[in-house]
Amino acid sequence: MKVIEVTNLIKIYNESEVKVNALNGIDLGIEEGEFTAIVGPSGSGKTTFLNMLGGLDMPTAGEIRVGGTDICGLSSSQLIDFRLRNIGFVFQAYNLIPVLTAIENVEFIMQLQGTPKQERETRAKELLHQVGLGDRMNSRPAKLSGGQQQRVAVARALASKPKFVLADEPTANLDSKSTENLLDMMEELNRKEQVTFIFSTHDQRVVHKARRVITLEDGLVISDERK
């Protein structure tokens, strides 16, 4: 079953009266449970494409359907709510809320969803155990290593029970050991829980783990390889 369907996606930026064609007509679909890496050189359109999939930016033309809903037709407030309920985000620089502890960071998104306190506490603890941080629940981000912070970010992304997780260069700031641990953990979540992961990355270790690799160049898909 397709989680995402992208049809003829075009994005043109009009900056300083110079038109920049970021995406030039992308057509692809992402199936539930995929572990996909989007690769390509700088300027290939990876970031723009991920922003479109995450509903953070609107295309100039084309259609993006997430679970059957055309997200390009949603208003900005509908989009915020859509993101809250359907998409998990993992950022390159972790972007946790520094004043909250690990467990509070995970709970925060569930509170935005209106989940009752008891339920969100139980789920947050469960997720932190799953990502191997059962003993660091009450630590604030500043007291955690980069790898641990990114694990909290993954737990946070999963807390809202999203249809898929968008991870943008999730290993860019991590050392090789932390990268390996993080990838193993995400792969396990993908296999066991059928969580759909979509990465944008330059990191060959991520590409190596991915079961589908989509390569972009000049805003077009130039290869789509399944392992």
Q: Scanning the structure block, which residue is given the tokens 């981000």?
A: 141
DSSP class of 202: -
111 binds other proteins (CB under 8 A): yes
Is 85 a binding residue for other proteins by CB under 8 A? The answer is yes
**Of residues 24 and 92, the one with the C-beta less far from other proteins:** 92
Biggest CA-to-CA distance, the chain: 54
72 binds other proteins per the rule CB under 8 A: no
Among 8, 80, 134, 145, binds other proteins (CB under 8 A): 80
| C-beta of 68 vs 114, nearer to other proteins | 114
Number of residues binding to other proteins, judged by CB under 8 A:
33
Cβ atoms 127, 155 nearer than 8 A: yes
Q: What is the DSSP letter of 211?
A: S
In the complex, the smallest distance separating the C-beta of residue 91 from other proteins, rounded to whole angstroms, is 5
Tell me the Cα Rg of the chain. Answer: 17
Q: Measuring CA to CA, which residue among 189, 147, 198 is closest to residue 2?
A: 198
Give φ, ψ of 133 to 5 degrees: -120, 30
Residue 161 as a binder of other proteins (CB under 8 A): the answer is: no
Distance of CA 198 to the CA centre of its chain: 6
Based on CB atoms, which residue is closest to other proteins, 89 or 197?
Answer: 89
CB nearer to other proteins: pick between 104 and 211: 104
Residues in Cβ contact with 163 at an 8 Å cutoff, skipping those fewer than 6 apart: 3, 32, 66, 67, 86, 87, 196
Q: Does 35 bind other proteins (CB under 8 A)?
A: no
Which of residues 99, 184, 225, 226 is near other proteins by CB under 8 A?
99
Q: Does 13 bind other proteins (CB under 8 A)?
A: no
Going by the DSSP 8-state scheme, the letter that residue 220 receives in this structure is E
Which residues contact other proteins (rule: CB under 8 A)?
A: 47, 50-51, 54, 56-57, 77, 80-81, 83-85, 89, 91-93, 95, 97-100, 104, 107-109, 111-113, 156, 160, 168-169, 200
